[in-house]
Amino acid sequence: MNTVGIIGAMDLEIRLLKDKMSLSKKESIAGFNYYLGRIQGKDVVIACCSVGKVNAASCTQILIDKFNIDCIINTGIAGSLHNEVKICDVVISKNVTYHDVTKNQMKNFFPFKEYFEGDKKLIELAIKACEKYKLDNWNYHIGRIVSGERFISDSKMKKSIIEEYSPYCVEMEGAAIGHVAYINNVPFVVIRGISDNADDEAYTNYDIFEKISAEHSANIVLNMMKII
């Protein structure tokens, strides 16, 4: 594998990775920052896409077009939508989809997919990285991650999303990144540290746990770079 693309929505989510990389160049394209360098001897391009699906999709397409990457790892934080997924746990994407786009639209219009599958080799690599980094106070899970254009902090909406999609967690970028990766035939995986339970207390818990959860996810990516 020649060059790994790594995307985070916020600087908080890529800060640890930037600190650990040997930076050779920074480029700004269409308002997005791309950091070129090496981590653990591997060529990487780290991108900050900002929040939301359109930003994530735009940043991902530029990453693919301009930097000749071989795969994409999306790192960041999310809200739990599964009873077994606790705050500070990690979710690895089995697949990704949108919770605010109908299944009929996904299925009947290009690219005719209800969800986008994470790459099996990258999932296996993420699992190995979790096992290497794992501490006793958190667990990792492999499951569906859903994305949409809002921070979920409403228990009724949370229940509705769970009933419709049976996801493990919810965030705002992963499905768009997976979507663009799929139509470009680029392998991807989404990794999310859990900062909150996507319920009525979500904002309070997010403020407390966002940094810890972001660093859990980033540390898994760092370990992936060691064993890739």
160-191 pLDDT, tens digit per residue, is 999 999 999 999 999 999 999 999 999 999 99
Q: What is the mean pLDDT of the chain?
A: 95
43-100 residue pLDDT tens? 999 999 999 999 999 999 999 999 999 999 999 999 999 999 999 999 999 999 999 9
Active site (annotated) includes residue 196: yes
Q: Determine whether 22 is exposed, middle or buried from the number of CB atoms within 10 Å of its CB (0-12, 13-18, 19+).
A: exposed
Spot the catalytic one: 13, 89, 171, 199: 13
* pTM, entire model: 0.95
Nearest CA to 51 among 198, 149, 169? 149
- With pLDDT > 90 as the criterion, what percentage of the chain qualifies? 88
> Can 200 be counted among the known catalytic residues?
no
Average pLDDT, integer, range 113-131: 96
135 pLDDT band, cuts 50/70/90, is: low
pLDDT: is 115 or 2 the higher one? Answer: 115
Q: What is the pLDDT confidence band of residue 25, given thresholds at 50, 70 and 90? A: very high
- Give the confidence band of 228 by pLDDT, cuts at 50, 70, 90: confident
Ordered by start, the domain boundaries in the chain are: 3-227
Q: Is residue 224 over pLDDT 80? A: yes
- The length of the chain is 228
pLDDT at 1 over 80: no
Please identify which of the residues 89, 171, 173, 196 carries the catalytic annotation: 196
Range of lowest pLDDT (38-47, 118-127, 196-205, 215-224)? 196-205
What fold, for 3-227?
A: Rossmann fold (3.40.50)
More confident residue, 74 or 228: 74
pLDDT at 137: 82
> Span 140-157, mean pLDDT?
94
